[in-house]
Chains A and B, each alone.
Chain A
Amino acid sequence: MSNPILSISGLTTSFRTGGQWRDVIRDISFDIGPQETVAVVGESGSGKSVTAMSVMRLLGGNARSSGRIGFDGRDLLSLPLEEMQKIRGNRIGMIFQEPMTSLNPVLKIGDQITEVLMQHRGLDHATATTEAVRLLDKVRIPSAKARLGEYPMNFSGGMRQRVVIAIALACEPKLLIADEPTTALDVTIQAQILELIKTLQQEEGMSVLFITHDMGVVAEISDRTVVMYRGDIVETDTTRQIFRKASHPYTRALLSAVPQLGSMAGQPRPLRFPVVDMKTGEIAPVPPTADTVRHDIAPVLKVEHLITRFPVRKGILRRIAGRVHAVEDISFDLHAGETLSLVGESGCGKSTTGRSLIRLEKMTSGRVQIDGKEVTKANQGSLAEIRREAQMIFQDPFESLNPRMRVGRAIAEPMIAHGLASSSEAIRRAGTLLEQVGLSAAMADRFPHEFSGGQRQRVCIARALALDPKLIVADESVSALDVSIKAQVINLMLDLQEKLGLGYLFISHDMAVVERISHRVAVMYLGEIVEIGPRQSVFENPQHDYTRKLMAAVPIADPTRRQTRRIADSEIRSPYRAADYEPAKRQYREISPGHFVQLTVEK
């Protein structure tokens, strides 16, 4: 490679914790050539973000770096701070993960961009404004000139990330560092932003250092890939080579755990993830999944015309000004031993559906039966009985356990409260449940903060199993987990389904995971189910426009299938409606057995 733009050699960064220096990244070296995109990929704690922060020298006083970071013939680590200040934002631009917080909420968008231009490029106000409009045009923000005077709150997440990119580009940097820039975004928006970064890189002739945990994104965007594991680089190669024939066992383990859209073609049932031996890199054969669906007995969950709307009140008299139509006329069945996935993007009402079913949210109308019992009309007593049959696993394992309760007690508590077991009996059963989810009974004495994220999610599953439920509503239960942990938890869920005949309502935005785990899939958009059917049928033969768009947006973890796609730069619409709005009655068409598609209504 001729004259790399950025050349990192022997970089070690340590943090001081409790008076001791601990290496977070150790002796890492890699180069980024001109107009090249290098992805640094790894799971949490791998040190990938610390690498980016070390390059920018943005780490605080309790961190130190040694080695060499060559940029433009100079060593960034030995530069005086004011010299570094000139490079930051000027020669190296940076975009962060969270578009909601990386813009100042009380300053107009235009001012935030012109500020950078006047500061770094010494432009006067008029030229800076013209330049700001040009930049916003460049990141494809429609009617840029009109939007200069708006505040960040008027922009959606994707649009904010575009503004952040515009600011990063303001000084025509030679290198753009992108730290998980699409992680907080919806999948269709993510596709737009990735497309944008690719285009801009060509237009501007920049190099890009792309930090991510998502192998799919890596395959989409990078020329070369650096794989990090616990602070070390385990493998550096061209992206194609890494996906074709990874040499390090960790890389192989990581890749085998990545859910790949389309990898389930021809498979009627869910499939476990292959388990890779971390030492040898051998892939153990995947045990076939048994047929668990019990069509012979009545469905465990029956939902008919479920509607949940939230009134939005305004004014002193608290008049209803409008309603958020979170869930709009949804009907489906779920059998024992079956997994039905609700997929869709943020705000589509998938979580509200799950919460309405067990009455964590008040439904507006409709009928829900769990195991033949009416949820809708249940009073306090019978509701307790119904909730015993249907348990919920939440998204964030850090939030869903009481931080001040030992996990053994947390698992035993529902059994005691429902009078199913005496206190000592419940504690003993909690130990058994912990073993059932792959932890040890001795861990019952620990507090939640002593567990890792994946372990906590196992604890949550054990707690959900405590009441011997027939149905589990899993609300984005694996979304916050690292790829390899995610694969393990999904395998566990499939094991438990086989053993206990559980019905899962699996709520997720992640199409690739959904493809792996479900028997049937329902695609939601603006509170409605637009398409529902057997997983194989929906994924191999999607009918509704939105389903197709959603599938096209999922990054494919295979660089040879990289596609230049045209994603319409559209936004996700809002389900907020005026108070007197009456939704149209929807019609569905059955295109193959059990596969229904909503008919598009002409507006």
Chain B
Amino acid sequence: MTRSSQPEISVHEAVGTTALPAISPFRRTVGAMLHNPLAMAGLIIVGLLVLIALIAPLVAPQNPYDLGQLDIMDGRLAPGSESMTGMIYLLGTDDQGRDLFSAILYGLRTSILVGVVSAAIALMIGAGIGLISAYAGGRTDAVLMRIVDIQLSFPAILIALILLAVLGQGVDKIIIALVVTQWAYYARTVRGSALVESKRAYIDAARSMALPDRRVIFRHILPNCLPPLIVVATMRVAYAIMLEATLSFLGIGLPVTEPSLGLLISNGFDYMMSGDYWISVFPGLTLLLLIVGINLIGDALRDILNPRREG
């Protein structure tokens, strides 16, 4: 009875502004993002990086995959050097004479593709399992959540290493590895918020109207679990990109012919001590910028989507 006779407090009632235009939760979130300077900074950073990754073939001075365009004579040139053919290497070259600026643009493409695709697949699998777990409850819930526990008790990098050792190299392989290491986080998150939501009265209301289970799950529970899911997904994309970079750095992720940011860092690592800092540092800075940008967005989303702020 703690809430029953409590008089309601409604801002709209108090100030008499019930005639507000209909604003969807989505548009409210976007509006709030635009008013948050840190979120804007994150959005601009990530937006620019994604944009140049998308149009990389158009803006890159050189195709780093095309060995015909590379000249081994241009190897390990400092930033700003001129090539044999008169081209300026803005960020220098690596040991094979590859233009680092172009390599970073193409590397961004690979990194973002791997991060986003793996996060999206992991999200769908995880959210599905989480919803089933929460709605079914009982033994199903117990079994699924123990699997999640087991999965989470191993370090992600260890699981990815083992999988890649079995599967071999390649973009598809690394996406599989990333999905396997990530889905459990989504399942845990969705189950948690689905459990909270399914205890609320509007779910009772939906059930008392005899709506089919499928409808209750997808139309009522899932949309209300989205806020925490979106926050987790944002953070997890960043994590997936880092994990991919780590694996590539260790030399078991992507083949040398498809340089991601991690691989570029790894390539330059050998020359760090001999003063050729640029081969590692510039890809590293790009990676840092991307991760910071995504995390800024994630932080802002977490603040905005906090249920206590919803009116």
Contacts and interface: CB of A to CB of B under 8 A. Distances in A.
Interface stretch (A331-339, A473-481, A525-533): A473-481
Nearest to B14: A45
A417 B200 contact: no
A230 interface: yes
Given A183-B5, A446-B22, A480-B3, A399 B208 contact: no
B201 interface: yes
B172 interface: no
Interface in B81-104: none
B10 A453 contact: yes
B12 A43 contact: no
Contact of A360 (B13, B200, B207, B215): B207
B14 A230 contact: yes
Contacts of B7: 43-44, 180, 183, 213, 480, 482
B208 A395 contact: no
Contacts of B204: 355, 360, 392, 394, 400
**Interface of B (DSSP majority class):** loop
B4 interface: yes
A402 B208 contact: no
A45 B209 contact: no
Interface stretch (B54-62, B162-170, B219-227): B219-227
Contacts of B12: 450-452
The size bracket of the interface on A is: 35 or more
Interface string B9-39: 1101111101010111100000000000000
Given A45-B13, A400-B205, A404-B224, A414 B211 contact: yes
B208 A398 contact: no
Given A358-B208, A387-B210, A481-B8, A452 B13 contact: yes
Contacts of B201: 394-396, 399-400
Interface-central residue, B13, B223, B311, by most chain A CB under 10 Å: B13
A247 interface: no
Contacts of A450: 12, 18, 20, 22-23
A447 B220 contact: no
B205 A463 contact: yes
Contact of B3 (A391, A396, A454, A463): A396
A415 B207 CA distance: 14
A186 B1 contact: yes
A394 B202 CA distance: 9
Contact of A346 (B1, B13, B16): B1
A57 interface: no
Contacts of A355: 204
Given A44-B9, A44-B14, A453-B10, A399 B4 contact: no
A395 B2 CA distance: 12
Nearest to B2: A184
B220 to A, nearest CB: 5
B1 A360 contact: no
B274 interface: no
Contact of A449 (B15, B16, B209, B311): B311
Contacts of B207: 360
B212 interface: yes
A509 B2 CA distance: 12
Given A98-B2, A184-B2, A392-B205, A406 B9 contact: no
B153 interface: no
B224 A509 contact: no
A480 B210 contact: no
A383 interface: yes
B202 A399 contact: yes
A394 B4 CA distance: 11
Nearest to A414: B209
A394 B206 CA distance: 11
Interface in A392-434: 392, 394-406, 413-414, 417-418
Given A45-B14, A346-B1, A482 B6 contact: no
A480 B202 contact: no
B1 A447 contact: no
Contacts of B25: 403-404, 447
Interface string A366-401: 000000000000000001110110011011111111
A391 B18 contact: no
A404 B311 contact: no
B205 A480 contact: no
B14 A402 contact: no
Nearest to B25: A404
Interface string A24-53: 000000000000000000011100000000
A460 to B, nearest CB: 7
A125 B16 CA distance: 53
A467 B209 contact: yes
A399 B215 CA distance: 19
Contacts of B202: 399-403
A183 B6 contact: yes
B310 interface: yes
B5 A44 contact: no
A398 B219 contact: no
A287 B274 CA distance: 97
Contacts of A455: 18
A45 to B, nearest CB: 3
B80 to A, nearest CB: 48
B25 to A, nearest CB: 6
A100 B205 contact: no
Given A445-B22, A447-B22, A482 B8 contact: yes
A404 B208 contact: no
Contacts of B209: 387, 391, 413-414, 417, 463, 466-467
Given A399-B202, A400-B204, A22 B5 contact: no
Interface string A335-363: 00000000001100000000100101000
A448 to B, nearest CB: 9
Listed from nearest, the 5 A-B pairs whose CB atoms lie closest are A45-B14, A346-B1, A387-B210, A384-B210, A453-B8
Interface of A: 22, 43-45, 97-98, 100, 157, 180, 183-186, 213, 230, 345-346, 355, 358, 360, 383-385, 387-388, 391-392, 394-406, 413-414, 417-418, 445-447, 449-455, 460, 463, 466-467, 476, 479-482, 509-510
15 contacts: A22-B15, A44-B9, A157-B1, A346-B4, A399-B201, A400-B201, A413-B211, A414-B211, A446-B20, A447-B22, A452-B12, A452-B13, A480-B7, A509-B5, A510-B5
Interface of B: 1-10, 12-16, 18, 20, 22-25, 200-202, 204-212, 215, 219-220, 223-224, 310-311
